[in-house]
Each structure stands twice: as structure tokens, then as C-alpha cells.
Amino acid sequence: MTYQSLKGFPDILPDAAAGWRRLESVIHELARRFGYGEIRLPMLESTDLFARGVGEGTDIVGKEMYSFLDKSDPPESLTLRPELTASAARAFVQHSMAQAQPITKWYYIGPMFRYEQPQAGRFRQFHQFGLELYGSPNPEADAEVIIAGAELLRMLGLTNYKLRLNSIGTAEERAAYRTALLEYLTPLSGDLSQESVRRMEKNPLRVLDSKKAEDIRATADAPKILDVLQEESREHFERVKGLLAASGVEFTIDHRLVRGLDYYTRTAFEFQGLDLGAQDALGGGGRYDMLIEQVGGKSTPAVGFSFGMERLLIALQHAGLAGDMAPEEDVYVIGLDDASRAWAATATAEFRAAGLSAECDLLRRSMKAQMREANRRGARAVVIVGGDELAGRHAQVKDLASGDQKAIGFDDLLGELKGLLARPAAPHTVPAPVQPDRTEPISES
Ligand code: HAM
């Protein structure tokens, strides 16, 4: 019996994991610059949290959650987190963050689970990086979060995207808009896709973000939510736009952008990749001023976003920025006979203890096979020891980047290797930086 991973639950093997680590290091650096603290939240929460927080009428709660009854008596319904904004809101309330400080800024990285039809860029287990900012009702907070999203893409070197921006108003404004939209859509329902007709009942706003040609045609002259906003929401939106423009962040106003989660109020946005095919949302978010109260806390305004990390990696690949694999190894130690193999094992352990990445042969292979292995692993240097070297207490050290080779006494080996590793290698083996400088996209250094 052989097993396969579940559909939509990909494995990430070491070669791919290098790209993930690189992305993660950029994210941690971004969060440091913007002053967000990392939170690590549980995979499982009560089903009710998402039903309430994300909304019963959403696709996520309606058909995409991995929910099950646990073994308690009576059984409790639990759900693998489909997103983290609701969980973070739960944690914000549980740990009384509102009392601790006026503004709380959190970020997270981790897997989410949605029972969706897998396709390119869409998985059932996928990863998000997200930011959540609690405590400010002001447009400066919306702008900070959106600018952080744009800055992430800039640090990664991604430019082929569009930032779509909208305001979906307060709950009251949306209720009024919903009525107006339904009045417009009802006589046209014969022209809409089946899915949109179904959506019309639960959440007519979602008809606007359908990608189907017939829906786009039928809604071309639909009333726009921006036109029904009251003075305060309108002013808020104008300020957000002004702050983004002042920071040089380009955006497109898109009245079709309504987002698929129920908690949003006012600002909504999405970073759309322009070469990602059907699953083109790199990330999205918005303001959600009612959620904290909905999950049992004191009314607290909040705004945030999440990016899909698989999608960021796909976009990096498309842009040719996935990066060469950095050499994984500093040194490969080769022993030519029994006694020198034993020496190689001990020396390898010493090099590791001194902080080098070191490897030696575990299969008692020939010198030629060991050299091939050292090259395959991308080792920077090899240390070669045979009977003569052991007797003379020295080793041959070869710099695989330059091809230089010399005999070095055992006592000087570590110093020699450290010196060799400090010298730049040939251009194709320069490791990719993990802490990009503010002024340079990671692709260029
Ligand atoms: P969302 O739009 O549902 O928002 O997801 C955010 C991002 O996660 C998407 O733009 C996409 O890149 C990625 N994503 C979603 N589903 C999948 C999937 N099945 N496979 C691969 N990637 C996926 C949220 O989750 C909100 N919590 C965002 C937020 C944070 N709003 C306020 N704060």
C-alpha cells in the first residue's frame, strides 16, 4: 500500500523550502520596520467563531470549512482555521489587548485550510502572511496597512500587480445599497449566471465581483456603492486615497471590489497579480470595525490584510525572481581509506560545532564518487585526507569556486576554511540575501 498526500495538500520539499524561508525573512523584516509583533495562533477554533466572525452567508463558512465534532460529551464542533482575522480577534479579546495599549499591531504566518476545488494557485492547505492593526478608526491606519502591503511587494521585487481599492461603507450604508442593488438586479436576473442568481438572495454585492462575462455585462450600469456613502465614509475614503497618493502608492478605484468575507466596513482592497491566471488575488483586506464586538469584545476599530504565500512565490517565479538556489554547504570532507574516513567524521563534527555547514560520506564511496557528491551538494570547499595526509597531519583543501588547492596542517584547517568561506565565490554561487536593503529589491543584490 502506498500513500499519496491529500488532494490540495501539497508537500514542500527542501529545494522549495529555501524559497519559502527567503519569503518569510522578507516578511519578518517588513513587520520589524512597521512595528508589528508576531502572533502564533491555534489551528483549531470553535466553529462558531468563524460562523459568527467571517459570516454564515460567505462561501468560506457555507461550504469551505473543515469542521468536525470532537470527542467531548456533548461533542463540540471545531474547525481548522480557514483564515486568521477571526482567530486573532478572539485572541485580542481573550488577552484584553484593548486595556493593555491603545494600538495593537500583530502579524502572522501560517497554514489555513479551505475545502475549495484545487487548481493552479488554489489549494486546500495554503499559507497566509497577514497584518492586523487594532484601535484606530482613522484613515491613517488604513493607509499604513495598505502601504505595508505595497512595501512587501516592493521588497520582493514584484511590480506586475494592480492595487484595487473601494469603500463598502458602514453596515447601514451597505443595507441601503443592498436594497438599491437588488432593485436593479431583480429584473435582470434572467441575464445573470446561475451562481449570481443564487448569490443574489444571500449577498447581492457578491454579484458585482463575479468574473463571468454575462454578470459583468448585466451589472455594467448597476448603482455604485461609492455613490450611496454618507459624508463620514466618503471623507474617510478620500483621506485614505490622499495618504496613499502622498506615499506614491498607485491604486485603481474599483466599485466591483466587495471582498468575500462579511466583516468589512468602509475600506476594502486587493493586490491583484497581473500574470496569475484565474487565481490572481495576491492578497486582500480592509477595515473591519464591528468584528471585535461581534466576537464578544468592547467595540474596537481594526484594519488588516492577508497575502497568499503560495501566490507570492508563483508571482516571484513568473517574474524570474525565485532566485538561484544558494549553496547549502560550506565544506565536504573526504576520507580515502578506513582510518581517514574516521578522521573525516570527527573533523566534520568539529566543523559543525564551529558553525560551518559540513558533510562527509556515509556510504564509504570512492574518492571520485565523493567529489561528485560534493559538487552536487554545492559545497564551497572540500577537505581531502588519505593515508599520507593522516601521517603528515595535514589535509588537501580545495576551493571548488576557484579550483585552488593546497595542503594545510590540521591545526590550521578551521582558520583556513573560515578565510576561504569569507572570500566571495564565483558569481553564480553568491548566496541570495535574506535581509534586503530598503533601497534594493532582493532580485538585484
Ligand atoms: P482572503 O481574501 O480570503 O482574505 O484571503 C487572502 C489571500 O489568501 C488571498 O488573496 C489569496 O492570495 C490567499 N488565498 C485564499 N484562499 C486560497 C487558496 N485556497 N489557495 C491559495 N491561496 C489562497 C482573508 O483571509 C482575510 N483574513 C484578510 C484580512 C486580514 N482582512 C483583514 N485582515
- 153: cell is 511587494
- 431: cell is 548566496
> Taking Cα atoms as reference points, which of 329, 326, 331, 328 lies closest to residue 397?
331
197 Cα–ligand 1 center, Å: 24
Q: How far apart are CA 421 and CA 337, in angstroms?
A: 27
122 lines ligand 1 (CB under 6 A): yes
156 Cα–ligand 1 center, Å: 19
Ligand 1, residue 312: give the atom nearest the CA: 12
- The answer to whether the beta carbons of residues 135 and 297 sit under 8 Å apart is no
> What pLDDT sits at residue 328?
72
Pocket test residue of 64, 109, 124, 128 for ligand 1, highest count of atoms within 8 A of CB: 128
| Confidence band for 203, pLDDT divided at 50, 70 and 90 | confident
Q: How far apart are CA 291 and CA 13, in angstroms?
A: 37
Per DSSP, the three-state class of 179 is helix
Which tens digits make up the pLDDT trace of 101-158? 999 999 999 999 999 999 999 999 999 999 999 999 999 999 999 999 999 999 999 9
259 Cα–ligand 1 center, Å: 10
- The answer to whether the beta carbons of residues 210 and 193 sit under 8 Å apart is yes
> What pLDDT sits at residue 444?
35
Pocket test residue of 122, 270, 306 for ligand 1, highest count of atoms within 8 A of CB: 306
Statement: residue 43 has pLDDT above 70: yes
Cα 403 from chain centre: 40
Enumerate the CATH 3.30.930.10 domain ranges in the chain, comma separated.
14-169+229-322+435-444
Q: What is the mean pLDDT of residues 294-306?
A: 97
Cα 268 from chain centre: 19
Rg of the chain, C-alpha, whole Å:
28
3-state percent breakdown (helix, strand, coil) of the chain, nearest 5: 45, 20, 35
285 lines ligand 1 (CB under 6 A): yes
Average pLDDT, whole number, for the chain? 93
113 lines ligand 1 (CB under 6 A): no
SS3 readout for 208-251: HHCCCHHHHHHCCCCCCHHHHCCHHHHHHHHHHHHHHHHCCCCC
Statement: residue 14 has pLDDT above 70: yes
Cα 436 from chain centre: 17
> What pLDDT sits at residue 66?
98
126 Cα–ligand 1 center, Å: 9
| Confidence band for 200, pLDDT divided at 50, 70 and 90 | confident
431 Cα–ligand 1 center, Å: 31
Ligand 1, residue 60: give the atom nearest the CA: 3
Q: How far apart are CA 440 and CA 323, in angstroms?
A: 15
412 Cα–ligand 1 center, Å: 54
The one-letter amino acid at 352? R
- The answer to whether the beta carbons of residues 283 and 305 sit under 8 Å apart is yes
Residue 283: count other Cβ atoms within 10 Å of its Cβ.
25
254 lines ligand 1 (CB under 6 A): no
Statement: residue 411 has pLDDT above 50: yes
- The answer to whether the beta carbons of residues 396 and 370 sit under 8 Å apart is no
Q: Per DSSP, which regions of 95-147 are E strands? A: 104-113, 125-134
Quick one: 329-422 is in which CATH superfamily? Anticodon-binding domain (3.40.50.800)
9 lines ligand 1 (CB under 6 A): no
123 lines ligand 1 (CB under 6 A): yes
306 Cα–ligand 1 center, Å: 6
134 lines ligand 1 (CB under 6 A): no
Q: In the sheet that 77-80 helps form, which strands lie side by side, from edge to edge? A: 44-46, 77-80, 66-69
273 lines ligand 1 (CB under 6 A): no
Q: Which long-range contacts (CB under 8 A, 24 or more apart) does 369-372 make?
A: 370/332, 370/334, 371/334
> DSSP string of 260-301?
SSTT--SEEEEEEETTSTT--EEEEEEE-SSHHHHTTS----
Nearest protein Cα to ligand 1, atom 13: 308
Q: How far apart are CA 306 and CA 129, in angstroms?
A: 5
Nearest protein Cα to ligand 1, atom 12: 308
53 lines ligand 1 (CB under 6 A): no
304 lines ligand 1 (CB under 6 A): yes
pTM here is 0.91
- The answer to whether the beta carbons of residues 165 and 147 sit under 8 Å apart is no
Residue 239: count other Cβ atoms within 10 Å of its Cβ.
15
164 lines ligand 1 (CB under 6 A): no
Burial of 226 (0-12, 13-18, 19+ CB in 10 A): middle
- The answer to whether the beta carbons of residues 351 and 417 sit under 8 Å apart is yes
Query: For 14-18, 78-82, 304-308, 405-409, which range has the lowest pLDDT when averaged over its residues?
Result: 14-18
Statement: residue 202 has pLDDT above 60: yes
What is the assigned CATH class of domain 14-169+229-322+435-444? alpha beta
Enumerate the CATH 3.40.50.800 domain ranges in the chain, comma separated.
329-422
409 Cα–ligand 1 center, Å: 57
Statement: residue 325 has pLDDT above 60: no
Which tens digits make up the pLDDT trace of 237-262? 999 999 999 999 999 999 999 998 99
